[in-house]
Amino acid sequence: MQVTPKKIKLAAGIDTLAIEWSDGHVSAYPYRYLRDKCPCATCTGTESLTAAAASPFPMFGVKPLKPDRAELVGRYALQIFWNDNHSTGIYSFEYLRECCPCGKCAVSRPVEDSVPGAS
């Protein structure tokens, strides 16, 4: 049986999105980390930074990043609607599990290359 999410918490702690998986594992993704991992064509096609980080004065007029809502896509992915108006990223469950930032998963993962979402 494939591992799938059981519960997705959009606000699970400070600036964190959490997923409880069917095999009991829990992943906690900081918002900025997850946003930078957006696998959509626009984000992966260019190596530019996301808009907020590109601003030299991030503390002026940029609201704190958070997901407004998320929707399931078919049987295999999650679409996250961020409050910076970016929502084209379709994060497959496989991809989400692959980029779980917890220590256990990081240890068992091969070294990442620099382009987010490339497989």
Partner 1 sequence: MKIGPQDVLDALKSVEDPDLHRDIVSLGFVKDLEVGDNRVAFTIQLTTPACPVKDQLAAAARQAVAALGIGDVQVRMTSQVMTPIRSQNQLIPQVKNTVAVASGKGGVGKSTVAANLAVALMRAGAKVGLMDTDVYGPSVPMLMGGNTAPHVVEGKIEPPVEYGIKIISMAYFLPKDEAVIWRGPMLHKTIQQFLGEVRWGELDYLLMDMPPGTGDIQLSLSQTIPLTGAVIVSTPQDLALTVASKAIAMFQKLKVPILGIVENMSYYLCPQCGHREDIFGHGGARAAASKLGFPFLGEIPLDVNVRIQSDGGKPVALDDTTPCGKAFQEIAGALAAQISVANYQVGPEITIE
Instruction: Single out the segment in contact with partner 1 by CB under 8 A; choices: 25-33, 53-61, 72-80, 105-113.
Output: 72-80
> What are residue 96's phi and psi, to 5 degrees?
-60, -45
In angstroms, give the least distance from the CB of 93 to partner 1: 8
Instruction: Decide if 47 contacts 115 (C-beta within 8 A).
Output: yes
**Least CB distance from residue 11 to partner 1, whole Å?**
8
Q: In whole angstroms, what is the distance from residue 111 CA to residue 119 CA?
A: 12
DSSP 53-81: HHSS-TTSS-PPP-EEEEEEETTTEEEEE
Query: With CB under 8 A as the contact rule, which of the stretches 29-37, 66-74, 96-104, 111-119 interacts with partner 1?
Result: 66-74
Q: How far apart are CB 40 and partner 1 at their closest, in Å?
A: 13
- Is 28 a residue that touches partner 1 (CB under 8 A)? no
- In the chain the first and final C-alpha atoms are separated, in Å, by 22
Q: How many chain residues are in contact with partner 1, going by CB under 8 A? A: 21
- Write out the residues near partner 1 by the rule CB under 8 A: 1-2, 4-10, 22, 69-77, 90, 93
